């Protein structure tokens, strides 16, 4: 949510930003907010004036009573009653206007960073840099479910019976590998100075509305029936929500946090053949990074966050690239974002395994998170990035570490978590 002062003082900047995001249908919202804000402030001014008149008239009532002017006192009382009714009506109008303004402000997109490339959708995202040599071996790389089947490590049929499509059982060495990757990711981030958290896996509706746009909320979140609770789609939701309505002492910043959680997502929409298996599922686990910092430091932290993910994947011998998200591909709260994509030797292309985002002060405004500084209170910036999200990451892992003989190499950093194993050997 942007600062309403920007709409008051520079509505054309807000409109131009909407155009850059190819959301012209939202242009009318700027004019509606301007008009409603004008009416709201006029109502507030009138209310202040009426409250002043009430105070003045109330004093006159006492004076009239002392002087024995009962008729004048009754007229003054009648006037106070009339003003109080008018004030009551004004307060109702103010509240309605305030809600209408907020409703519109919540869907006006955040101002994007000047460096964001302009484009309509993800097809116009821009490659920034590649890390590691993308290799296509001279032997066949099967589909990831077929690779995992040789280790008897995946059971989709049983998951279909218990839970439906988009769920899975991992077992044996594959399940252990999944847990090992998450444990390694946890220690990797702790060693980089991040504080480790396991957060709540359910959050209240006001937190959901504070951390994400309505469109994202509708397409992603599962609601607990009959309760004001939602299953988190990522631990960023509860980690940023942790600071709701808090006044943070300036000296405590920055907060560099890393969190583990399961994630639950509706994943609305049709999916192609490459998104079956473990690619797009309703439940998965993830290690996340979240930063709350001074506004002037968010660009620095943005670079730190995406580089952490690149470094993590490179320690596991997986080539990756970074892709700058264009304006039309940015969610409404984001100022700037890039995807980290892993190389798929089977598909001979990269696919998304993580996303790094700078949200500016949008989440802080929605959640009323402020910094207590020497010169007053102000909003911090929030950022997030995926360290790793298996099981999708397992696709890249198996494809890039599969050997010609069907074994899968276990990179050295994972071996302590795998009981010293250097490779997985097919059982089928």
Residues 190 and 277 in one domain: yes
The answer to whether residue 116 sits within a structural domain is no
**What value does the CA radius of gyration of the chain take, rounded to a whole number of Å?**
28
Residues 253 and 284 in one domain: yes
Reported pTM: 0.89
**φ/ψ bin of 352: left (φ > 0), alpha (ψ from -120 to 50), beta (otherwise):** beta
Range of the domain at 79: 4-105
- C-alpha 368/C-alpha 10 separation (Å) is 23
The answer to whether residue 110 sits within a structural domain is no
| Chain segment 152-205, per-residue pLDDT in tens | 999 999 999 999 988 999 999 999 999 999 999 999 999 999 999 999 999 999
Residues 212 and 278 in one domain: yes
DSSP character for 297? G
Beta bridge partners of 386: 288
Residues 342 and 200 in one domain: yes
User: Is the alpha carbon torsion for 64, 67, 68, 72 positive or negative?
Assistant: negative
Q: What is the mean pLDDT of residues 336-355?
A: 96
The answer to whether residue 113 sits within a structural domain is no
For 266-300, give the DSSP string: ---S---GGGTTTTS-SEEEEEEEEEEE-GGGHHH
DSSP character for 208? H
For 78-98, give the DSSP string: HHHHHHHHHHHHHHHHHHHHH
Q: According to the model, what pLDDT value does residue 62 have?
A: 83
Q: What is the mean pLDDT of residues 136-142?
A: 94
Q: How many domains are there within the chain?
A: 2
| Chain segment 211-229, per-residue pLDDT in tens | 988 777 778 899 999 999 9
- C-alpha 240/C-alpha 367 separation (Å) is 9
CB 306 within 8 A of CB 356: yes
The answer to whether residue 252 sits within a structural domain is yes
Other beta carbons within 10 Å of 92: 11
Residue after which a domain boundary falls, among 105, 137, 166:
105
The answer to whether residue 111 sits within a structural domain is no
* Helix ranges (DSSP H) in 106-171: 144-149, 156-162
Residues 254 and 289 in one domain: yes
Residues 236 and 192 in one domain: yes
The answer to whether residue 117 sits within a structural domain is no
């Amino acid at each position: 949510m942007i600062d309403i002062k920007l709409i008051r003082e520079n509505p054309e900047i807000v409109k131009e930003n909407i155009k850059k995001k190819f959301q012209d249908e939202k242009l009318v919202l700027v004019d509606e907010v301007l008009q409603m804000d004008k009416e709201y402030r006029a109502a507030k001014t009138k209310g202040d004036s009426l409250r002043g008149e009430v105070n003045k008239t109330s004093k006159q009532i006492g004076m009239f009573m002392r002087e024995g002017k009962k008729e004048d006192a009754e007229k003054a009382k009648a006037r106070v009653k009339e003003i109080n009714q008018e004030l009551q009506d004004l307060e109702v109008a103010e509240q309605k206007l305030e809600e209408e303004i907020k409703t519109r402000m919540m869907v006006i997109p955040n101002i994007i960073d000047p460096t964001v490339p302009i484009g309509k959708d993800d097809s116009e995202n821009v490659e920034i840099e590649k890390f590691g040599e993308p290799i296509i071996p001279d032997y066949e790389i099967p589909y990831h479910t077929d690779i995992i089947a040789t280790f008897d490590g995946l059971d989709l049929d049983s998951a279909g019976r218990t839970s439906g499509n988009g769920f899975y059982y991992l077992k044996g060495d594959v399940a252990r590998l999944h847990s090992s990757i998450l444990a390694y990711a946890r220690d990797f981030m702790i060693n980089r100075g991040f504080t480790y958290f396991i957060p709540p896996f359910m959050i209240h509706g006001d937190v959901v509305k504070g951390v994400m746009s309505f469109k994202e909320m509708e397409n992603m979140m599962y609601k607990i029936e009959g309760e004001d609770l939602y299953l988190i789609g990522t631990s960023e939701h509860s980690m940023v929500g942790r600071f709701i309505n808090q006044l943070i002492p300036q000296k405590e910043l920055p907060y560099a946090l890393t969190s583990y959680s399961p994630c639950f997502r509706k994943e609305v929409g049709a999916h192609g053949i490459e998104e079956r298996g473990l690619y797009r599922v309703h439940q998965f686990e993830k290690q996340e990074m979240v930063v709350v910092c001074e506004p002037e430091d968010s660009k620095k932290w943005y670079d730190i966050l995406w580089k952490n993910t690149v470094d993590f994947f490179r320690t596991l011998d997986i080539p990756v690239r970074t892709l700058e998200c264009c304006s039309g591909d940015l969610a409404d709260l984001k100022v700037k974002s890039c995807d980290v994509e892993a190389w798929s030797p089977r598909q001979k292309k990269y696919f998304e395994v993580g996303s790094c985002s700078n949200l500016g002060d949008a989440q802080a405004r929605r959640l009323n998170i402020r910094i207590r500084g020497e010169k007053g209170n102000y909003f911090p910036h929030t950022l997030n990035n995926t360290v790793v999200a298996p099981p999708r990451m397992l696709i890249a892992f198996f494809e890039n570490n599969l050997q010609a003989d069907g074994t899968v190499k276990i990179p050295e950093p994972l071996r302590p978590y795998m009981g010293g194993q250097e490779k997985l050997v097919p059982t089928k």
